[in-house]
């Protein structure tokens, strides 16, 4: 039967939604960091899914879906509330890559954000984090702004969205990126779809531009490529705890986890893995751990976004888990 006044919603759906809302939980916890500092972590629970967001950079540092960790954070990451966290989903703003004015990838990922609000909506449990310009940020980039990062969690689905508001009196331009590190058992066996036919800048070949001919982009060697106009969803295969089938596995056992990444207003995709030599040079990645992650990064980086005073820009991604045998 249906619910009065809402004929398209069945009672079963209402009960399921009510159970989901009751299961949603939000907790602000303190965790020890590097060198004796204390980390402020927001924990979001929805059913059997759990997300952790560090207020340093509003960096999402964990997503467990039914106990399976899908996000990589380096075992050598420095959690000192100063340095950018190596792994998770760092927020790049207002500059992608090296920046003559300030830190690489901008300052948003190394500033402390505010846990603004939380609640339950039609798409899931959500938490909002905000960052405003400060004396520090204006000393680097003299603009007034408000960033709002929204994390929405439902069973098997994680959405992350960024809103940039120009709160000043002059326009500014920016680049931004969700620098997602996906946890994988072996990067050489992971593939990414949705990039065939696109132009890309290969930063490992003197930033020359090529056209992608592969249907599935793989990781047999170091890669650092910016795909321009990547509007199609990306299927990222063999993530999390994916494994080969074993002789004793029942036919119903699902051994492979994939993630479908869908973007909104983020026209570019960066694909990155440093492999062992570059990982050793970076210093905050255990060299052998290059095998355990791939970065597929939704962003607006090939051309700056121009934002007039009083206007807002929105962009985001949705990650959906699927399992197969």
Give the pair of three-digit tokens for residue 60.
Answer: 């999402």
34 to 37, 40, 78, 317: CA distances (angstroms): 6, 13, 6, 30
DSSP 285: S
DSSP codes, 57-96: TTEEEEEEETTEE-B-B-TT---SSSSPPSBSBPEEBS-S
Q: Which residues contact 81 (CB under 8 A, 6 or more apart)?
A: 33, 37, 39, 56, 112
For residue 128, the SS3 value is strand
**Under 8 Å between Cβ of 171 and 308:** yes
What CA–CA distance (Å, rounded) separates 219 from 49? 28
Nearest to 91 by CA among 164, 34, 156, 42: 164
7 to 1, 13, 14, 18: CA distances (angstroms): 9, 12, 12, 17
**Under 8 Å between Cβ of 281 and 233:** no
What CA–CA distance (Å, rounded) separates 203 from 267? 18
For the question of residue 297 being annotated catalytic, the response is yes
Q: Which residues contact 135 (CB under 8 A, 6 or more apart)?
A: none
Pick the catalytic residue from 297, 314, 318, 323: 297
For the question of residue 143 being annotated catalytic, the response is no
Pick the catalytic residue from 56, 79, 143, 179: 179
Residues assigned a catalytic role: 179, 297
């Amino acid at each position: 039967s249906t619910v009065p006044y809402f004929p398209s919603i069945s009672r079963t759906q209402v009960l399921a939604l009510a159970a989901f809302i009751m299961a949603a939980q939000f907790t602000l916890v303190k965790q020890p960091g590097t060198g004796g500092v204390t980390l402020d972590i927001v924990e979001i629970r929805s059913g059997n899914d759990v997300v952790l967001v560090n207020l340093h950079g509003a960096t999402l540092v964990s997503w467990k879906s039914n106990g399976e960790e899908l996000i990589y954070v380096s075992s050598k990451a420095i959690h000192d509330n100063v340095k950018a966290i190596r792994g998770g989903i760092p927020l790049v703003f207002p500059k992608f890559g090296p920046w003559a004015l300030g830190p690489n990838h901008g300052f948003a990922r190394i500033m402390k954000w505010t846990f603004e609000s939380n609640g339950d909506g039609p798409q899931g449990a959500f938490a909002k984090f905000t960052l405003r310009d400060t004396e520090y940020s204006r000393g680097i980039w003299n603009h007034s702004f408000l960033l709002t990062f929204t994390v929405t969690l439902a069973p098997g689905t994680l959405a992350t969205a960024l809103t940039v508001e120009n709160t000043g009196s002059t326009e500014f331009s920016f680049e931004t990126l969700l620098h997602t590190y996906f946890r994988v058992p072996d990067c050489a066996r992971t593939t990414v779809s949705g990039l065939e036919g696109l132009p890309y800048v290969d930063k490992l070949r003197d930033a020359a531009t090529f056209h992608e001919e592969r249907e599935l982009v793989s990781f047999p060697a170091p890669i650092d490529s910016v795909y321009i106009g990547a509007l199609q969803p990306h299927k990222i295969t063999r993530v999390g705890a994916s494994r080969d089938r074993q002789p004793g596995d029942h036919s119903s056992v699902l051994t492979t986890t994939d993630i479908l990444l869908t973007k909104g207003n983020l026209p570019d995709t960066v694909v990155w893995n440093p492999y062992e030599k570059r990982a050793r040079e970076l210093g905050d990645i255990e060299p052998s751990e290059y095998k355990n992650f791939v970065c597929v990064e939704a962003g607006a980086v090939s051309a700056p976004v121009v934002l007039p005073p009083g206007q807002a820009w929105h962009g985001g991604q949705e990650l959906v888990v699927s399992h197969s045998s």
